[in-house]
């Protein structure tokens, strides 16, 4: 990462402000750590050790000194300052802190430092514009410093985990559906040698009881994949090329390939693949072979996307059929679906159903008695068709 000179902001501040703050830096550093301990539970636990707390105070003191050294100095680069924060990110990881706790600690420390700078400025009777400029300098660094912290944290984390765990962590990060930091994804992608694509497709794997362990070598090594969790899966950029090995899936294993989506929507592809896998296991999507491709079943997935609403629709649209015997229900439902789909004559419907035209005429008369004017209403016909299509897809006991 390339850092630009920041003297254009910090150099505008009067040197007397830096001179006034500098003697207070040791006390400010202690107050920063005390504030972090009081507000962040993870840090309170880590810094309960006196040596760890003393080290934190020293790191904070050094960082504050580097910040104050920039006051009134034109075109002073902050490479050293940011290197310190990268080092602090590494230390935070090895201390067992979460990335979020490390970032929060910096924000708390920034507020403590700002209060001290503001107090010094008021004692010097500096103008409000000068104090505003000091705040702009300090909080303008938040994004850059947070990124430096994160880079250091991610680097230490990548070094501490093996390739399989890194692949699994990246997969879980991208498919969680809760949002993620680009820096986190980028660091893990670099660690596993994966070039983040513009579009991505999720794959879900399902093992039947007694199936063998998922064999190695069926997936490219440099893709995000978690094959040991309760929801095993992978993310691939080019399904046709990357999933060629799935032809060798052992007995008992199946794969469901989601739809291709922009990288930011990887969680949606994963969700759709999991839904399709569930429907296939319930017999509501027919599969040929061990691999199910969602793009071939978009209509079914859309129709069964919300089964609760589908039940509400069916209960209303197909209510006239509810009191019939099962055989009569099935015969009339088949005739009704063909009729609303085709608007065909009795002979045309009879050919599609492979029954006598007279039989169809009798069924159509019965359907007219049951549904009445609804059969002439386009909106009602659509509702009836959707309900009948879904009824065909779902097992009788659903």
pLDDT tens per residue, range 222-260: 899 998 777 789 999 988 888 887 878 888 889 999 999
284/264 Cα distance (integer angstroms): 29
What pLDDT is recorded for position 398?
47
Residue 115, pLDDT score: 86
Band of the pLDDT at 269, cuts 50, 70, 90?
Answer: very high
Range in 5-14, 36-45, 95-104, 275-284 with the lowest mean pLDDT? 5-14
Q: How confident is the model at residue 205 (pLDDT cuts 50, 70, 90)?
A: very high
> What does the pLDDT read at residue 262?
95
Summarize the confidence of residues 163-182 as an average pLDDT.
85
Query: What are the phi and psi torsion angles at 310 (to 5°)?
Result: -65, -40
Using pLDDT thresholds of 50, 70 and 90, give the confidence band for residue 129: confident
Confidence at residue 3, expressed as pLDDT on a 0 to 100 scale: 34
3-class SS of residue 162: coil
Confidence tier at 4 by pLDDT (50, 70, 90): very low
Token couple for 105: 């600690």
The pLDDT of residue 78 is: 60
Q: Which helix (H) or strand (E) holds 225?
A: strand 225-226
CB 65 within 8 A of CB 25: yes
Binned at pLDDT 50, 70 and 90, residue 9 comes out as low
pTM score, two decimals? 0.57
Side-chain-side CA neighbours of 209 within 13 Å: the count stands at: 0
Assign 293 a pLDDT band (cuts: 50, 70, 90): very high
d(CA 153, CA 102): 9
- Evaluated on CA atoms 158, 163, 168, 172, the torsion sign reads positive
Q: What is the pLDDT of residues 348-373, one digit of tens each?
A: 888 888 889 888 899 889 988 898 88
Q: How far apart are CA 190 and CA 218, in angstroms?
A: 22
Q: Where are the alpha helices (DSSP H) in the chain?
A: 7-10, 15-21, 25-39, 41-46, 50-68, 79-94, 99-123, 128-140, 142-160, 163-175, 182-192, 239-242, 266-281, 298-303, 307-317, 326-342, 346-353, 357-371, 378-393
- R_g of the chain, CA atoms, integer Å: 32
Stated as kind and residue range, the H or E segment containing 210 is none
Query: d(Cα 217, Cα 6) in Å, to the nearest integer?
Result: 50
Report the run of H or E that residue 203 belongs to, with start and end: strand 199-207
Closest CA to 174 of 185, 189, 190, 160: 185
Average pLDDT of the segment spanning 193-207: 93
Q: Which tokens is 85 given? A: 């924060």
At residue 2, φ and ψ (nearest 5 deg) are -105, 130
pLDDT of residue 5: 38
In contact, 245 and 191? CB cutoff 8 Å: no
């Amino acid at each position: 990462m390339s850092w630009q000179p920041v003297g254009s902001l910090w150099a505008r501040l009067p040197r007397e402000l830096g001179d006034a703050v500098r003697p207070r830096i040791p006390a400010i550093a202690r107050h920063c750590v005390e504030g972090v301990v009081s507000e962040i539970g993870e840090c309170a636990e880590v810094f309960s050790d006196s040596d760890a707390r003393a080290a934190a105070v020293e790191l904070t003191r050094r960082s504050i000194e580097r910040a104050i050294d920039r006051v009134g100095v034109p075109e002073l680069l902050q490479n050293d300052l940011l290197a310190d924060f990268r080092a602090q990110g590494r230390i935070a990881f090895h201390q067992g802190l979460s990335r979020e706790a490390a970032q929060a600690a910096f924000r708390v420390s920034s507020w403590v430092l700002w209060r001290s700078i503001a107090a010094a400025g008021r004692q010097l009777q500096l103008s409000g514009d000068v104090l505003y400029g000091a705040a702009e300098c300090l909080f303008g660094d938040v994004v850059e410093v947070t990124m430096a912290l994160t880079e250091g944290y991610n680097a230490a984390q990548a070094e501490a985990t093996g390739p399989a765990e890194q692949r699994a962590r990246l997969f879980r990060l991208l498919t969680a559906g809760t949002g993620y930091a680009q820096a986190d994804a980028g660091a893990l992608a670099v660690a596993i040698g994966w070039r983040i694509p513009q579009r991505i497709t999720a794959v879900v794997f399902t093992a039947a009881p007694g199936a063998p362990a998922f064999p190695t070598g069926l997936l490219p090594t440099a893709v995000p994949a978690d094959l040991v969790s309760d929801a095993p899966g992978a993310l691939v950029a080019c399904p046709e090329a990357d999933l060629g090995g799935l032809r060798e899936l052992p007995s008992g294993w199946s794969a469901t390939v989601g739809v291709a989506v922009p990288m930011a929507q990887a969680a949606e592809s994963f969700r759709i693949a999991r839904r399709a896998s569930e429907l296939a296991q319930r017999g509501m999507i027919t599969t040929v072979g061990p691999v199910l491709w969602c793009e071939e079943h978009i209509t079914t997935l859309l129709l069964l996307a919300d089964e609760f609403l589908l039940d509400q629709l069916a209960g209303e649209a197909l209510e006239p059929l509810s009191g019939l015997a099962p055989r009569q229900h099935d015969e009339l439902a088949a005739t009704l679906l063909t009729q609303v789909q085709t608007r065909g004559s009795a002979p045309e419907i009879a050919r599609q159903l492979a029954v006598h035209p007279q039989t169809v005429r009798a069924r159509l008369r019965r359907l007219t008695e049951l549904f009445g004017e609804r059969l002439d209403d386009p909106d009602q016909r659509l509702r009836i068709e959707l309900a009948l299509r879904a009824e065909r897809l779902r097992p009788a006991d659903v």
